């Protein structure tokens, strides 16, 4: 009986930290993992970079092709991002159409290179096509914008995420389908 209770407890804990749509870890898990990774980076003096990734014009995907197609796009993008990362990198769905990647041991220049590789992989995905209920026919190329920030010394999770988010909004403001770092380095 105790074994079954333990198994159920583990199952519910796992379910609480996994995004049901994409199968990626979720924001709840990320908050805990991020804190542990940032503490480790601070202790060891190694860099930790974070990528904030946003699907460009995601609302128009849902509006033109429907929410089922939008959900499919989220799953395909999640799989594409995961396939381009190292085993030690941590990928999570941050919420909505945003993803976050933690890159232990990578300084800004290397993180920008990873971000550019991710951006290019998503841009190579086949475009969404077909008739829609609201906007007729047409194609929609899927792209992402990415912001990069790096912790080189003690900082907080909130501060690092805010810096990556600010870089993400600069990338979106510069035309989307771009990588921007907090230092101005671009992919």
Closest CA to 152 of 50, 53, 29, 33: 50
List the one residue out of 186, 183, 165, 164 whose CA is nearest residue 175.
186
C-beta of residue 86 within 8 angstroms of C-beta of residue 106: no
The catalytic residue among 4, 97, 98, 107 is: 97
Give the Cα separation of 145 and 137 in Å (integer).
25
Question: What are the residues facing 99 on neighbouring strands?
Answer: 53, 93
Alpha helix ranges (H) inside the chain: 2-16, 27-44, 58-65, 67-83, 108-123, 157-173
Assess whether 13 carries a catalytic annotation: no
**How far is the C-alpha of 72 from the C-alpha of 42, rounded, in Å?**
38
Helix (H, G, I), strand (E, B) or coil at 130: coil
- Residues tagged active-site: 97
């Amino acid at each position: 009986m105790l074994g079954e209770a333990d198994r159920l407890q583990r199952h519910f804990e796992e379910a609480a930290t996994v995004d049901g749509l994409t199968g990626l870890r979720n924001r709840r898990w990320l908050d805990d993992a991020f804190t542990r990774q940032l503490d480790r980076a601070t202790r060891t003096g190694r860099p930790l970079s974070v990528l904030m990734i946003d699907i460009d014009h995601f609302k128009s995907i849902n509006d033109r092709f429907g929410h089922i197609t939008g959900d499919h796009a989220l799953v395909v993008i999640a799989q594409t991002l995961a396939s381009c990362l190292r085993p030690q990198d941590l990928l999570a769905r941050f919420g909505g159409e945003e993803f976050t990647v933690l890159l232990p041991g990578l300084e800004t220049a290397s993180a920008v290179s990873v971000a550019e590789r991710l951006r290019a992989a998503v841009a190579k995905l086949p475009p969404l096509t077909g008739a829609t209920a609201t906007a007729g026919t047409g194609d929609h190329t899927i792209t992402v914008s990415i912001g990069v920030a790096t912790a080189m010394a003690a900082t907080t999770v909130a501060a690092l995420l805010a810096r990556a988010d600010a870089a993400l909004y600069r990338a979106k403001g510069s035309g989307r389908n771009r990588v921007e770092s907090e230092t101005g380095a671009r992919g």
